[in-house]
Structure 1
Amino acid sequence: FKASANDPGDDRYIWASDAHQEGFVPSPGSRPGAYLPNFFAFQPALNFGYAQENPAEPWRQPVDADGPRANRAALRAIMDHWLGLGLSGFRVDMAASLVKDDPGKAETANIWTELRHWLDATHPDAVLLSEWGEPEVSVPAGFHTDFFLQFGGPTDGRALRSLWSNTDGTVNESWDPLDCFFDPSGKGSPRPFVEAWFEASAAVADRGFISLPTANHDFSRLNCGPRSAEQLPAAFAFQLTWPTLPAIYYGDEIGMRYVPGLPDKEGSVLGPRYNRAGSRTPMQWDDGPNAGFSTAPADHLYLPLDPAPDRPTVAAQRADDTSLLHFVRRLIALRKASPELGSDGSVEVLHAGYPFVYVRGGRYLVVVNPQRNAVSHTYDIPAEPRPLEVSGVRVDGRTVVAEGFAYGIFDLGR
């Protein structure tokens, strides 16, 4: 970018001749004019072209211009370098944002389709994950998987937020208020997620996967707001038995908390109730200095640690067979050993409410009740299913009884 800011002939970034062009940032170099940022001034937008011409904006270049073509070549060269060193793949940030003014993201999809063809030919084992938030578009475009995100897509992020959004941490004031399912009050429903998943799954078919994250660097952790540590096992029992590609955000497997009240760090604050820094605090390894994350002085850390004296650590949970960490590991092992519980297995929803009840692969019965109150429902379930991972759930004849914050995974023996 520094080279481009001093070379009027360099088209790898998007430049306008007017230094005061709205939405642009004045050039920091000898080149006159201004550059287009993606979000912040320190994020100049790479030039992958514009899908549509506009005579009033002469800086727009088509996707096949020299600058966009050079950037596509550079993208392949950079990926080829790291994949050649043994990297397994890439998670692509802002994957839908490459081509500007791109209705339906058709030209952006073409770029990823082109890249996927190259990837399959040169690095067939490499994985391409997308931060797009619309699997029905991004997976057919060439990604192996795409995340349900808290924003974007046909549901504007409701699919994910209806599961584990909250009233603290990362709340966009423009979002429709949602009573999320994984909330102790029991006012939510898994139905918005289930409907969105079935629709996206039909569009994706066998071309890739939908990924369900526990959290991410832009969205508050599972352990945040009214949700507490006692609800986390039920959340993981669901996430690791539903037919998505599960993505566990670092630290969620030990119940790390979202840390409120942190100062703005590199644009972490996006609104009066939206501070992403709380999800980005250092990993908590042990009880040593800086929780084992770094030997640097505490005031040199990028962000401070969770200050709570009872903050969870990996070391403590490794030593405790009843810990969340061991439970998550058991669920992962069960999923790996049971194809019916994997991303390709079928799912039959028996009840989209409290408790959430479904059958995977015609064999495994899953019951999840993330609210504090006990519930019971009657279903056509074979008598005496074999319990695999159960806490607070029992099957009495055709009746499923679930205590508060309960979960159960049963083998139906079919």
Structure 2
Amino acid sequence: MQAMDWLKEAVIYQIYPQSFQDTNGDGIGDFQGIIKRLDYIRSIGINTIWLNPCFDSPFGDAGYDIRDFYKIAPRYGTEEDFEELVKEAHAREIRVVLDFVAGHTSMDNPWFQAEAEKPHSADSNRYIWRNRDFDPATGPQKGDFVSNFFWYQPALNFGYSEITEPWQDPLHAPGPQKNREEMRKILAYWFDRGCDGFRVDMAGSLVKPQDTPASVEATKAIWQEVRAWMDEAYPDRVLLSEWSFPSRSINAGFHLDFMLHFNTPGYSSLFFNGKGTLAPPKDQAYCYFDAEGQGSLDVFLKSYSEQREATRGKGLITLPVGCHDFQRLRCAPRGWDELRCAWVFFMTQAGPPTIYYGEEIGMRFVENLEPKEGSTLAGITAVNAGTDLGERAGTRTPMQWDDSKNAGFSTAPAERLYFPIDPDEDRPTVESQDKDPNSLLNFVRELIRLRKANPVLGTDGEFTFLNTTEQHYPFAYLRELDGARCLVVINPSRHARSVDLRVAGEPCEVLLGQGCVCERHGESLSVTVAGHGFGIIPLR
């Protein structure tokens, strides 16, 4: 099966491995823990898992500072454990996607250490050295090399599109060529061990100076080269980007891009409510998915429509349900009543859904946790870093499996856990929600089932916004595919809202709904939706 064929049908589950399931009692999740929970993952309707970085690292940035791209981090297990995970996942028809940090490494990486020992060697060209005359007794310090995110993550050298300093290499110098070749070696190594694809961290950060027109085109050319190689050597493997700029990334050869909180606007205006990790856009008093019902769809509709049109027939866009880099969906003041509306939106989007672990049971953003492994976004100039709030710990707490010790995550003493368990006595668990037919978990399962059973709601279906610039609530859009048509109406507000839609077709029995009434009145379809209500309505 070709890569895009299976990716279009994917429902992706993001696993933060250190927080998912611990099996050896050290307080940190591991591969055996993921294997233990594969049946649960499959029961949701998931067919693809994406693991945050699991390669050898000093964990200054939770694994995004890689020491050895060819070695599994011992805290997660061995390469044999990884191969067992892939085997067991594939046996359940679940694909496995890894996280690839293409643009930088750890300072502990042997490549960096070797260049730091011989900074004036002609072979010391994997990194971008501003100053090679540092004190050998102390080694390179902040400012001696170009960094990509935190200062201690030295940028790999892919060249400069515009040379302004003597220490900058052109695009096809030996260093950049070496790194381009190494990228393919790394990908091939893990593809040959069963990996089904990679999500690429900071995919747009390769060529410097970042984000100029020339450097963007040069970075795109590198990824197009990788994609051409993959299509020839590994045609069934996927490349997903953290670029949050689909019109760039898809045209660079990526199969899919995550539309997030940076580069292209829209996501933040829907969900960021002023609490948690990242701040809402400037001058935004209310996000759209807010009980007050005073948000706006304008920014999202414009941005999403532009990105959809620019990538039509070329690649896919996903709007993820949560992420390790920002606050969870259930972040005060957003409560339980508001979650289902958001889930209806996420599961009826035109791209493959992506679900961050624990969102399916409504895990909350836990405030006031001590930072760990670079969880605090401070003093960073990268385009996907926060500036006003910036603590990510609250969205990385351990998965809540049951009411046993440490919520079933680990048998370790509480003080040894990677992060503390949510202290809320009423915290949701998989066990309790699995038993409750009216739980959020079972609601999510039903949404995924409906998506799979009704292709019009899936990736191939057209997506047409029906809201006017004057009326933002309820959110209404039409999904269409091969003559099938389905209206989706969502009201995140606590107040009932009505709208008259100029859309053809008679409403059929609601596939899934809560407080939604839809009637034909001449040329208009009149829809009334209760507070926090929604409807998925076929039209004939």
TM-score (norm 1): 0.91
| 1:110/1:176 CA distance change after superposition, 3 Å | farther
Residue in 2 that maps onto 1:35: 145
Count of matched residue pairs: 402
Over 3 Å counting, the alpha-carbon distance change for 1:106 and 1:376 in structure 2 is same
| Matched-pair contact (CA < 8 Å) for 1:2–1:29 | no
Match of 2:347 in 1: 240
Q: Give the CA deviation at 1:48.
A: 1.2
Q: Distance in 2 between matches of 1:343 and 1:327?
A: 20
Structure 1 unmatched ranges of 5 or more: none
Deviation at 1:296, TM superposition (A): 2.2
> How many Å apart are 1:312 and its aligned residue?
1.1
Query: Secondary structure, in 3 states, of the residue corresponding to 2:113?
Result: coil
**Deviation string for 1:129-149 (max 9, x for gaps)?**
100010001101010011111
- CA distance in 2: counterparts of 1:268 and 1:245, whole angstroms: 27
- Determine if the alignment matches structure 1 residue 97 to structure 2 residue 205: yes
| Contact 1:170/1:274, CA 8 A, preserved across alignment | yes
Tell me the equivalent position of 1:401. Answer: 528
Distance 1:126 1:295, change over 3 A: same
Question: Match of 1:119, SS?
Answer: helix
User: Which one of the candidate residues 503, 508, 521 is aligned to 1:385?
Assistant: 508
Deviation at 1:28, TM superposition (A): 5.2
Provide the C-alpha distance between the structure 2 equivalents of 1:396 and 1:145, rounded to a whole number of angstroms: 38
Cα distance in 2 between the residues matched to 1:63 and 1:184: 51
Q: 2:123 aligned with 1:123, yes or no?
A: no
Distance in 2, matches of 1:336 and 1:172, equals 35
DSSP-derived class of the 1:275 partner? coil
Identity, in percent, stands at 48
Match of 1:79 in 2: 187
In the TM superposition, 1:15-414 aligns within 5 A as 15-17=129-131, 29=139, 34-54=144-164, 57-102=165-210, 103-104=212-213, 105-153=216-264, 158-172=265-279, 175-177=282-284, 179-270=286-377, 271=387, 273-351=389-467, 353-361=472-480, 363-380=485-502, 382-397=505-520, 398-412=525-539, 414=540
CA contact (8 A) 2:280 2:287 kept: no
Question: In the alignment, is the contact (CA less than 8 A) between 1:112 and 1:142 conserved in 2?
Answer: yes
* Range with bigger deviation, 172-181 or 249-258: 172-181
Q: Secondary structure of the residue that 2:250 maps to in structure 1?
A: helix
**Contact 1:27–1:34 at 8 Å: present in 2 too?**
no
The whole-number CA distance in structure 1 between the counterparts of 2:279 and 2:208 is: 24
| Alpha carbons 1:27, 1:35 under 8 Å: kept | no
| CA shift for structure 1 position 82 | 0.7
Q: Is the 8 A contact 2:200 2:239 kept in 1?
A: yes
SS at match of 2:194: coil
Retained in 1: the 8 A contact 2:272–2:280? no
Note closer, same or farther for the CA distance 1:346–1:173 as it changes in structure 2 (3 Å cut).
closer
User: Quick check: 167-176 or 212-221, which moved more?
Assistant: 167-176
| Structure 2: unaligned runs, 5 residues or longer | 1-111, 378-386
Residues 186 and 106 of structure 1, relative CA distance in 2, 3 Å threshold: same
User: How far apart are 1:377 and its partner, in Å?
Assistant: 2.0
Q: Could you say which structure has the greater relative contact order, defined with CA pairs below 8 angstroms and 6 or more residues apart?
A: 2
State the 1:294 CA deviation.
2.2
- CA 206–86 in structure 1, closer or farther in 2 if over 3 Å, else same: same
Going from structure 1 to structure 2, the CA distance change for 1:409 and 1:63 (only over 3 Å counts) comes to same
> Counterparts of 2:376 and 2:266 in 1: how far apart (Å)?
23
Q: Deviation string for 1:304-346 (max 9, x for gaps)? A: 1211111111111111111111111111121122221112211
Q: TM-score, normalised by structure 2?
A: 0.71
Question: What is the CA distance between 1:162 and its match in structure 2?
Answer: 1.3
Letter of the 1:388 counterpart = L
The superposition leaves residues 63-83 of structure 1 with CA deviations (integer Å, 9 ceiling, x where unpaired) of 211111111111111110111
